[in-house]
């Protein structure tokens, strides 16, 4: 499903930096999160085999979320994947209102003058998602004048925990409108924040570069450096905290540099002193339990694991059958060849070996 350029999913990041633009390649958990969201939506719609593409752990996490939602709803109907539009007054628009943004709420439960908005996160409670839910709530208020209170819920699958709070229309507007105003300013300035790792501007961001440049300014570190020489002996946590903050930002920028250089090398322009190195993708068993039954190893060897690496299975097979790791791998490639899936290989830029 396409996202609006002012999608509420970006509001938490814009609350910290109005210049943030997502680099989807850095979101390694996007596919897993999408699979879990799809499973939850299908389960709430009571579709058969809703969980068939999930691992055992992911399935349990989403089932927990489904049960939590059904308990919250009681006898009230549950709407899944609901598109909500924030409509604002506009004298030139048809009907006197225009669409400012839209977003898709995972779950909506309406009961009279009140509503529950629920968002599922496949990970843990590492970030504050209140701005995102406020975006959905404000859109709902603009579409349904009858609704007076929206209760927001974030369900975290990995930790099976939740966060809940209530919003009035004024509350939601007080969160969302300043974010939109800052984002729409032509003179908006970037800020170093917790989302820098996922921003596509991190290679050239002036705010991040300003922090990185501190590493090249020894004068700023003349005083704290002696305390850092013996890390275990330092009694100044603020000094170490300052060093850690700088190290984290340098790491974010250096990864962006490496990514840009690798892409340039793949296009044919390899930086002097470097070379491209290809690495074969890992091979995984797609159905662990079926593989275990087929090759005859103890059924509890990988209890609860939907997918494991071929290498790990070969270790157990070699021990059980009394063969070498190489022999085990060769035998497995014959016995469970239809259950082996090879992941996409990787290409990296490494220092060229000196002749």
* Residue 301: per-residue pLDDT: 64
Query: Got the DSSP string for 151-172?
Result: EEEEEETTTTEEEEEEE-HHHH
Going by C-alpha positions, the residue among 51, 116, 114 that lies closest to residue 78 is 116
pLDDT at 16 over 70: yes
Kindly state the tokens that stand for 73.
Answer: 């709803």
Q: Does 213 share its domain with 331?
A: no
Token pair 């996160």: residue: 121
Domain ranges, residue 246: 202-266
pLDDT tens, residue by residue, 309-343: 888 888 888 888 888 999 988 888 888 888 888 88
Phi, psi of 117 (to 5 degrees): -110, 130
Token pair 């100044």: residue: 236
Phi, psi of 320 (to 5 degrees): -65, -40
> Taking a C-beta distance cutoff of 8 angstroms, is the pair 117, 150 a contact?
yes
pLDDT tens, residue by residue, 153-178: 999 999 999 999 999 999 999 999 99
Specify if 60 maps to a domain: yes
**Angle of CA points 21, 27, 30, to nearest 5°:** 115
CATH number, domain containing residue 83: 3.90.320
> Taking a C-beta distance cutoff of 8 angstroms, is the pair 108, 79 a contact?
yes
Specify if 190 maps to a domain: no
* Rounded-to-integer distance, Cα 125 and Cα 323, Å: 45
Kindly state the tokens that stand for 193.
Answer: 């924040």
Confidence of residue 304 (pLDDT cuts 50, 70, 90): low
Q: Does 246 share its domain with 323?
A: no
Q: Does 177 share its domain with 308?
A: no
Q: Does 152 share its domain with 54?
A: yes
For residue 92, the number of C-alpha atoms closer than 13 Å in the C-beta half-sphere is 0
Confidence of residue 239 (pLDDT cuts 50, 70, 90): confident
Please tell me the total count of domains within the chain: 3
pTM, whole model, 2 decimals? 0.75
* Residue 23: per-residue pLDDT: 87
Range with top average pLDDT, 150-154, 195-199, 208-212, 226-230: 150-154
Last residue of a domain, one of 213, 240, 266: 266
Q: Does 88 share its domain with 163?
A: yes
Specify if 338 maps to a domain: yes
Specify if 253 maps to a domain: yes
Cα-to-chain-centroid distance, residue 50: 22
Q: Does 219 share its domain with 178?
A: no
Going by C-alpha positions, the residue among 152, 128, 158 that lies closest to residue 139 is 152
pLDDT at 236 over 70: no
């Amino acid at each position: 499903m396409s996202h609006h350029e002012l999608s509420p999913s970006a509001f938490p990041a814009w609350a910290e930096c109005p210049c943030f633009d997502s680099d989807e390649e850095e979101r390694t958990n996007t596919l897993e999160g999408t699979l879990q969201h799809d499973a939850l939506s299908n389960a709430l719609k009571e579709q058969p085999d809703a969980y068939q593409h999930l691992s055992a752990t992911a399935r349990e996490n989403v089932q927990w979320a489904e049960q939590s939602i059904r308990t919250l709803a009681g006898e009230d109907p549950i709407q899944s994947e609901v598109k909500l539009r924030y409509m604002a007054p506009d004298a030139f628009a048809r009907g006197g209102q225009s669409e400012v943004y839209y977003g898709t709420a995972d779950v909506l439960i309406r009961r009279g003058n009140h509503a529950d908005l629920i968002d599922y996160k496949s990970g843990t409670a590492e970030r504050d998602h209140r701005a995102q839910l406020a975006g959905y709530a404000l859109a709902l208020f603009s579409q349904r004048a009858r609704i007076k209170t929206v209760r927001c819920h974030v369900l975290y699958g990995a930790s099976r925990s939740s966060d809940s709070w209530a919003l009035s229309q004024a509350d939601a507007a007080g969160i969302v409108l300043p974010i939109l105003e800052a984002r729409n300013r032509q003179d908006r300035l970037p800020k170093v924040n917790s989302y820098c790792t996922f921003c596509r501007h991190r290679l050239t961001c002036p705010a991040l570069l300003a922090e990185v440049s501190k590493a090249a300014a020894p004068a700023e570190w003349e005083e704290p450096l002696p305390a850092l020489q013996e890390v275990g002996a330092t009694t100044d946590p603020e000094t170490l905290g300052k060093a850690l903050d700088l190290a984290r930002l340098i790491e974010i920028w250096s990864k962006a540099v490496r990514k840009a250089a690798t892409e340039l090398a793949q296009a044919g322009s390899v930086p002097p002193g470097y070379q491209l190195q290809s690495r074969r993708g890992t091979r995984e068993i797609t159905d662990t339990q079926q593989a275990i039954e087929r090759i005859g190893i103890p059924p509890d060897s990988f209890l609860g694991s939907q997918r494991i690496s071929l290498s790990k299975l070969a270790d157990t097979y070699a021990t059980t059958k009394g063969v070498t790791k190489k022999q085990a791998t060769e035998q497995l490639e014959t016995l469970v060849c239809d259950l082996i899936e090879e992941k996409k290989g990787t290409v990296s830029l490494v220092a060229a070996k000196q002749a």
